[in-house]
Chains A and B, each alone.
Chain A
Amino acid sequence: MLHILTLAFRRLLTTIPALVIILIALFLLLQLAPGDTVDALLAQIGGAESSVIDEMRHHYELDQSTSSRLINYLWRLVHLDLGQSAIYNKPVSHMILERLPATLLLMGCAMLLAFTFGTILGILSAQKVNRWPDTLISILGLIFYSTPSFWLALMGIVVFSIYLNWLPPSGFGSIGESLTGMAAIVDIAWYLILPTTTLALVYLAIYLRIMRASLLEVSTLDFVKTAKAKGLSRRKILVNHILRNAMLPMITLIGLQAGTMLGGSVVIETIFAIPGLGRLAYDSVVQRDLNTLLGVVFVSAILVIIINFIVDMLYAKLDPRITGH
């Protein structure tokens, strides 16, 4: 266990330079953006006199030079302080902790759903390769993959919330009813069905394709042929040999997808009014809330690193050729 932790820590250390580069680059990039957070605020309140505007700029420290603000930011970061959010008027770390659960839940469920069904459908498809179940699954997969996710989301709302009235169209749990325990979990799950499914469908298609392809590829490899020759049952070959090897690219994909999925959740979270990191990031770009944006980037980067680390560990477990070094 200790070994894994040291490994994780070392991994984190090697990614720190990349992380710092990103943060500095983004900070500087956003200085070039037209308008600042006070402009965004003014848009919201319909304008103000210049004395009021000056006081606001001072309040958000925008009257200081770029370099001194950057240094301040980095200095605070060293102390693990992400600063104060301009839009929300509270520490960025609080904001992120508030929003993280929703995003993690959404991404986790979507990923689980995509992975599970992708695997199952991929196996089905590979077993019936080039026959009608395979064709049907492949076509469905391609259609899911090719459809813009926001379009699927909107259609999902129209069908399941409006016409059928089965699922809530938006939100993250019922408000005003203080539910606890199981009831609260069921309540949130209820709200998560639509967004999770729409977010998952695209990825499901990808997993399905990879699973099918790698199954087909693995099944032509020598060791599978040997196993067949040894007279092992189909099921045993599939589970012990083929699946184990085909899982490798699938797991790699999870690591690669973590970042994209967070980006994709921007749109999904907006449509379903889910208070997650994606929407926080979008709002902070539009509102030029630098601290919040950088904070989200920082946290999501760490998230991606952690996911990739877990993926690597799994990889080592699954692939006998890789030994922990």
Chain B
Amino acid sequence: MKLFNIKQTFIIGLFSILLPFYSMADEKTPQHGGTLVVHYSGEQRVLNPALRASTGVYEVSGKVVESLVDLDADSQVVPVLATSWTSSADGKTITFKLREGVKWHDGKPFTSQDVKYNALEFWKKRLNFSTALQLNLTSVDTPDDYTVVFNYSRPMPLDLLLRALVDLGYVVPKHLYEGTDVLNNPYNTAPVGTGPFKFIEYQRGQHIIVERNPDYWRKGYPYLDKIIWRIIDDNSSASAALESGQIDLSSYSKLSLADINRFKQNAKFEVLTKGSQANIFNNTLEFNFRNPIIANLNVRKAIVQSLDIPFFTDDFLYGFGKPATGIIPSSNAFYPKDSKIIYPFDREKAEQLLDEAGYQRKTDGIRFNLKLVHINNGEDVPLFATFIQQSLAEVGINVVIVNLDTAGALNAVYKAHDFDIATGWHQYRGDPAVSTTVWLRSGSPDGAPWTNQYGWKSETVDQLIDNAATEIDPVKRKALYVQLVDIVNRELPLWFATEREFISVVSTKVHNHHNTARWPSSSWFDVWIEH
């Protein structure tokens, strides 16, 4: 494929001399109007981000409903509906100033009453991941229409709260929810918010449409007239739709990696991981300690050391990913500097460890059998399961893959505990205290997915997790997490094999995209399209 002809190259050269301080994207003046068509897959039962926390919900309702805060390009917390925040010295009282003059899509004013209602009825009671975060929230005061005060019974680290509120701080209108059956409220699938776009319709299995909100509080925004999400579940069909110009954008790695890799060579598209830094995910390996073989640390080490992860990321994942060095992603503020992989790929060492553990190869060359359940978040999960099967066969461990659909797999691992090893994705949510540490904290009841259901318990780790969640000094907090990462890396209660970023493929017609750390979920108020 020819990328540039000579004339274009000349013009680009000229521009780069004339405008040395501007990047290509900024040269064009934004155009108002136009429709952005976006790839979407799966059905959402609910489009209310104050009720259900998931990227699938934010992708759409993040344009309609706004959160108190958001992230900028450098993953720093920036104001949205909240304009400033302070914490008391003991960390138990946190005060937010709210933006004035903001209106709901139905014309009613946005006030501190709305935030209070959301905090108590949604964030503390119903929103997944948030109810644990807001466990110690005792009351919310509203001294005036634009001030909210959160009172906690134990210290709440401000940095933790802010980072969490990016995802877990969406506000829906109190006047449409109060006094109704919240779970059956019709606005759950037809959201009303303060965002740059108004919800128009959700045609199940087909599309979701939102339209420009002319009264948006950021004057002059948004640029787009309309956003349409087209629901295409089959990812090769989605690639075809992208190529034929039916859709302009696909984010959160919803295309097959092979197709994404192919789009790199297509001048009409950009392939980026930028703009999704806040949503790092990992290919995981969970162990079931109820099996005495697995409970043996040497066996776990051997399993980990049999897996050539660089080979996997390079040759199976087209280089989209790298080996992880622990449970906190390397781009995050809590990442322990100079983290290293303690148990690198070493097949001989693995064999030796297994021999030492007392599991010699039998006459058929097999040491023991393991049942592997994979929880299918993406196409690479079955692939990684296959890779584990192949790699462990080399050291004499026979792995049988149990192929279940997601509901079945979750049930097998987290309720029936019917597995020896499991693999899936872990998604990092900006702060270890949100979602990551529940994978390690003991005491979670059966049936709660992606929590510690592995039959592993460590007093030290539980203590560390609890202390870090209420430590208001950021430096001390980080130190606690450094300790946690180190223990997990050595003890291997679970193991993160890779560290990966979500990938977006976007048409070059689209501008001002991927300019924040969680762009696909953000409000897209400044996105524009050539038309």
A64 CB within 8 Å of chain B? no
- A91 at interface by CB-CB < 8 Å: no
Kindly report which residue of chain B lies nearest to residue A47, judged by CB atoms. Answer: B450
Closest Cβ of chain A to B186, distance in Å, is 9
Q: Are A45 and B35 in contact (CB under 8 A)?
A: no
Q: Would you call B206 an interface residue if the criterion is a C-beta within 8 Å of the partner chain's C-beta atoms?
A: yes
Query: When A34-B407, A43-B406 are in contact, do A162 and B54 touch as well, CB less than 8 Å?
Result: no
**Which residue in chain B gives the minimum CB-CB distance to A98?**
B204
Most A-side CB within 10 Å, residue of B131, B188, B444: B131
B132, A49: Cβ atoms closer than 8 Å: yes
Size of the chain B interface, CB-CB below 8 angstroms:
66
CB pair A154 B236 closer than 8 Å: yes
Contacts of B261 in A (CB 8 A): none
Q: Within 8 Å CB of A280, what residues of B?
A: 205
A34 touching B416 by the CB < 8 A rule?
yes
Stretch of B38-46, B148-156, B337-345 lying at the A interface? B38-46
Q: Does the CB pair B449–A39 fall under 8 Å? A: yes
Total interface residues in chain A, CB < 8 Å: 55
Whether A168 and B226, one on each chain, are in contact in the complex, defined by CB atoms closer than 8 angstroms, is: no
| A172 adjacent to B206 (CB under 8 Å) | yes
B residues less than 8 Å from A43 (CB atoms): 375, 406-407, 410, 449
Q: Specify which of B43, B232, B233, B244 is in contact with A162 (CB 8 Å cutoff).
A: B244
By the criterion CB–CB under 8 Å, are A175 and B233 in contact?
A: no
Residue-wise, chain A 166-183 has the 8 Å CB interface mask toward B (1 for contact) of 001111100110000000
- State whether the Cβ of B460 lies closer than 8 Å to any Cβ in chain A: no
Central interface residue in A44, A154, A272, A287, by most chain B CB within 10 Å: A44
Q: Across the interface, do B408 and A50 meet the contact criterion of CB distance under 8 Å?
A: no
- Bound complex: CA A90 to CA B203 (Å): 12
Q: How many angstroms between the C-alpha atoms of A16 and B415 in the bound complex?
A: 38
| Contact segment of A52-60, A126-134, A208-216, A294-302 | A52-60
User: Closest CB-CB distance, B426 to chain A, in whole Å?
Assistant: 10
A46 at the interface (CB under 8 A from B): yes
In the complex the two chains form, what is the Cα distance from A42 to B407 in whole Å?
A: 8
List chain B residues, Cβ under 8 A from A186: none
- With an 8 A cutoff between CB atoms, is B333 at the interface? no
B486 at the interface (CB under 8 A from A): no
A87 touches B447 (CB 8 A): no
B230 touches A35 (CB 8 A): no
A36 to chain B: which residues have CB within 8 Å?
407, 411
Are the C-beta atoms of A49 and B205 separated by less than 8 Å? no
Assess A40 versus B244: contact at CB under 8 Å? Given A170-B232, A176-B228.
no
Is there a chain B Cβ closer than 8 Å to A193's Cβ? Answer: no
The chain B residue sitting closest to A167, CB to CB, is: B244
Measured CB to CB, the nearest residue on chain B to A36 is B407
Q: Give A234 Cβ to nearest chain B Cβ, in Å.
A: 48
Contact B45 A162 (CB under 8 A): no
The minimal Cβ–Cβ distance linking A176 to chain B, given in whole angstroms, is 5
Q: List the B side residues contacting A86 at CB < 8 Å.
A: 45
Number of A-B contacts (CB under 8 A): 177
Q: How far, in angstroms, from A171 to B203 measured CA to CA in the complex?
A: 12
Within 8 A of A (CB), among B421-467: 427, 435, 438, 444-445, 447-451
Contacts of A34 in B (CB 8 A): 404, 407-408, 411-412, 416
User: In the complex, what residue of chain B is closest to A168 when comparing beta carbons?
Assistant: B246
Are A47 and B449 closer than 8 Å at their CB atoms? Answer: yes
Contact B448 A45 (CB under 8 A): no
Residues of B within 8 A of A55 (CB): 126, 183
Does any Cβ of A come within 8 Å of B237's Cβ?
yes
Q: Is the CB of A33 within 8 A of B408?
A: yes
Residue of A at shortest CB range from B416? A34
A35-B408, A95-B204, A171-B246 known; A49 vs B45 contact (CB < 8 Å)? no
B448 touches which one: A48, A270, A287 (CB < 8 A)? A48
A49 touches B375 (CB 8 A): no
CB neighbours of A275 from chain B (8 A) = 203-206, 231
Interface readout for B395-413 with A: 1 if CB under 8 Å, 0 if not? Answer: 0000000001111111110
A46 with B53, Cβ < 8 A, contacts A88-B43, A273-B237 known: yes
Q: Are A45 and B128 in contact, CB atoms less than 8 angstroms apart? A: yes
Asked if A89 and B189 sit within 8 Å, CB to CB, the answer is yes
B126 proximity list for chain A (CB < 8 A): 52, 55
Contact partner, B406, options A40, A158, A272, Cβ 8 Å: A40
Is the Cβ of A35 less than 8 Å from the Cβ of B410?
Answer: yes
CB distance from A266 to the nearest CB of B (A): 12
Q: Determine if B24 is an interface residue (Cβ-Cβ < 8 Å).
A: no
Chosen A-B contacts, 11 in total, with CB atoms closer than 8 Å, are A35-B408, A35-B415, A39-B408, A46-B427, A48-B131, A87-B45, A154-B236, A169-B240, A171-B246, A175-B209, A275-B204
The 6 closest A-B pairs by CB, nearest first: A35-B407, A48-B128, A275-B205, A35-B411, A169-B240, A47-B450
Interface, chain A (partner B; CB < 8 A): 33-37, 39-53, 55, 59, 86-90, 95, 98-99, 154, 157-158, 161-162, 165, 168-172, 175-176, 270-273, 275, 279-280, 283, 285-288
